[in-house]
Structure 1
């Protein structure tokens, strides 16, 4: 079990800022300097041929200077044939090791942790970006999303084994480059999440069918990563509490998966929820009682805490210093996961640790276009634009129009998708 740093006795009151400022030691001995963690957000700041850039160095240096204790990168892909969006960084080999080292150095320059999130999109990739998409089973998206996402091809057994090796290889390179940990992206409808879900995974072989078979893929990924990075290097996972769609991954299955991951030696679990088809992670359709409590998935976190002794990070809904401290003081979680607030307030950790509340209020980004707003597409695209501004050395624009951002983003994404495909064909 992880250990917390020495703190005043239980009878000595702590301020909310003091609660957030406590360090935390992971089971493998790694020390995280405070309880504030940046959750992964899509940056799309790689080159069109998927290499790291100076913009990533600037962005992560800014977060490091802002005082974050644990910073998790946006998804780094394991296969150039399987991008989630134009501008993804892909790590298949060591050819970009110098650039990765500069990125890692920038993100750790104030003593915080920087973990690389490692991912494969599976079928959750925009139509036209890749030659094809793959998934555990050839299950299409719902009808109103079919224009955006193609029906995937079912993976073969040899392909699955190759993907497992790729996850491990990318983790090995991340360690060599100076990242201080890695995180498996097992949430939000990407490939690992697709394997876990009975909706997306309808296989009848060893990779599907029973819950035990459906979680075989993520356990093999963890085992291969551990084989390649060693036992002292942190490996975490971002996992859905549930998919929030009919026939999908349930809370009971998620609890069982977390028990299995804990037994297999995972170092940290970040709890989230939802997919592109049911975007619960955005908070768009949350009950008033949940919004008031701030933490979207706290009830599930409490169930996890009762089931396993494992460091937990909770992401989604936090908006005040008091709410964050209350969540930590409850004992249900160990880290406060922040995403969208850090896209508009990169220095927020320092403010919180001084006892100050966030300046900005996070609200759903609306374009006025019903289909776009229902799919929460702007909850990725709008914030990605703010990260890009910081990567270019500018400040975020918290009041930027959702419709304007959507229009610019559609043009840029379409053009970059075309250029990416053309580059691959040349």
Structure 2
């Protein structure tokens, strides 16, 4: 028997048709007004035929003044409801659910994208494309701004539900705003939003509660959560497990485990020798978490062979296999796993020889492959890193030019 074919009942009562999910990837496929494009929607039409029980979108930003990448989709009102409906309908006629990942970057955004940053505390990024010293330090969020952001998460969620998305996922990992609140490294507040873990977790709990109040009990809400930040003084494994307990008690539907931030990108780095044979980056951690919660668990990062995926679910180490980058190269991957017509899914990026550029390829090379899918093309494993890099730079320049010309200040 292939355990990956089993259905999964979520706490909300919603049923996933199997145990394979496309985890969120950076897509960068909005238009210059941050609306979903036909290319983006078509990519999901391709994936919808690929057999996964769940597809999770890349970052959908909740605020047009807080954008992480030049072509993120933004959903803050109903202006683009018809386009969102078309995106949600990309899975019609299949057994696949489509969840929207919702996000706020906080301090983690390039200077050319966001000139002014807001964050829990005035802790600058060590790296991340901000050369101006005065622009590296984020402004500290006020109480009112925190409450407004919580409201914005819920507002975006109800719009996406109205559009027809099957669920939402809060991005609480990889150094974005929710992750910043959780980490004692980036959150040194002395009010009720900082200090103890209970206070640092207050933000994500209030985000979840507000979304739940808006969307109701039968609409799935998940979260992507760090196992640890892999930074000195950051969010620890022990704290992460406590947050899992808190969110499980709240009734969250699915907890996806990842780890690291863009200052310490463990989610894209080398795995420990002890986990290489089991492939997944954070398998040791999720085995500990399995013992403290009955909430469905999803693990993303490193899975590449069908046999290891089957064993991980069959042994109850986790419930959902999360796969990201291979979906950009093997769009029919879930069907191939379920019918065992392909046994491994290795992805290899061509190298430019420039360390800084090759580091970016872990994201932008796959963005280019997703664009190929959306344009009706096959993935191109020989895609030049230089072509990808210069296309990405042009996107950033276009974003900056557009911002200067047409984005009014919202005060």
Band the TM-score falls in, shorter-chain normalisation: over 0.9
Q: Which residue of 1 aligns with 2:251?
A: 265
Match for residue 423 of structure 1 among 386, 394, 406: 406
Query: Is contact 1:321-1:356 (8 Å) kept?
Result: no
Query: Is contact 1:301-1:333 (8 Å) kept?
Result: yes
Is 1:236 equivalent to 2:219 in the alignment? no
Task: Tell me the distance in 2 between the aligned counterparts of 1:371 and 1:65.
Answer: 36
Is 1:83 equivalent to 2:67 in the alignment? yes
Task: Tell me the distance in 2 between the aligned counterparts of 1:408 and 1:364.
Answer: 16
Query: Is contact 2:117-2:139 (8 Å) kept?
Result: yes
1:388 Cα offset (Å): 1.3
Is 1:56 equivalent to 2:3 in the alignment? no
Query: Is contact 1:77-1:119 (8 Å) kept?
Result: yes
User: Structure 2 stretches of 5 or more lacking a match?
Assistant: none
What pairs up with 1:9-408 in 2 under 5 angstroms? Answer: 14=1, 18-142=2-126, 146-147=130-131, 150-282=136-268, 284-357=269-342, 360-363=345-348, 366-373=351-358, 376-408=359-391
TM-score, normalised by the number of residues in structure 1: 0.92
Query: Is contact 2:305-2:344 (8 Å) kept?
Result: no
Give aligned pairs, total. 407
1:391 Cα offset (Å): 1.7
1:201 Cα offset (Å): 0.7
1:281 Cα offset (Å): 0.7
1:19 Cα offset (Å): 1.6
Mark the CA change 1:205 to 1:423 in structure 2 (over 3 Å): closer, same or farther.
same
- The C-alpha deviation readout for 1:154-181, integer Å capped at 9, x for no partner, is 1111000000000001111111111111
Task: Tell me the distance in 1 between the aligned counterparts of 2:264 and 2:352.
Answer: 18
- The C-alpha deviation readout for 1:124-181, integer Å capped at 9, x for no partner, is 1111212411110111111685439832111111000000000001111111111111
Task: Tell me the distance in 1 between the aligned counterparts of 2:128 and 2:301.
Answer: 26
1:278 Cα offset (Å): 0.7
Task: Tell me which moved more, 387-396 or 268-277.
Answer: 387-396
Mark the CA change 1:252 to 1:359 in structure 2 (over 3 Å): closer, same or farther.
closer
Query: Is contact 1:68-1:112 (8 Å) kept?
Result: yes
1:424 Cα offset (Å): 1.1
Q: Which residue of 2 aligns with 1:6?
A: none
Task: Tell me the distance in 1 between the aligned counterparts of 2:91 and 2:108.
Answer: 28
- The C-alpha deviation readout for 1:66-89, integer Å capped at 9, x for no partner, is 111111011111100000111111
Task: Tell me which moved more, 285-294 or 298-307.
Answer: 285-294
Task: Tell me the distance in 2 between the aligned counterparts of 1:415 and 1:161.
Answer: 32
Say what the alpha-carbon RMSD is for the aligned residues. Answer: 1.8
User: Structure 1 stretches of 5 or more lacking a match?
Assistant: 1-13
- The C-alpha deviation readout for 1:26-54, integer Å capped at 9, x for no partner, is 12211111110000011111121111221
- The C-alpha deviation readout for 1:375-416, integer Å capped at 9, x for no partner, is x32211111111112122222212223344223322333333
TM-score, normalised by the number of residues in structure 2: 0.95
Task: Tell me the distance in 2 between the aligned counterparts of 1:321 and 1:73.
Answer: 23
Mark the CA change 1:366 to 1:176 in structure 2 (over 3 Å): closer, same or farther.
same
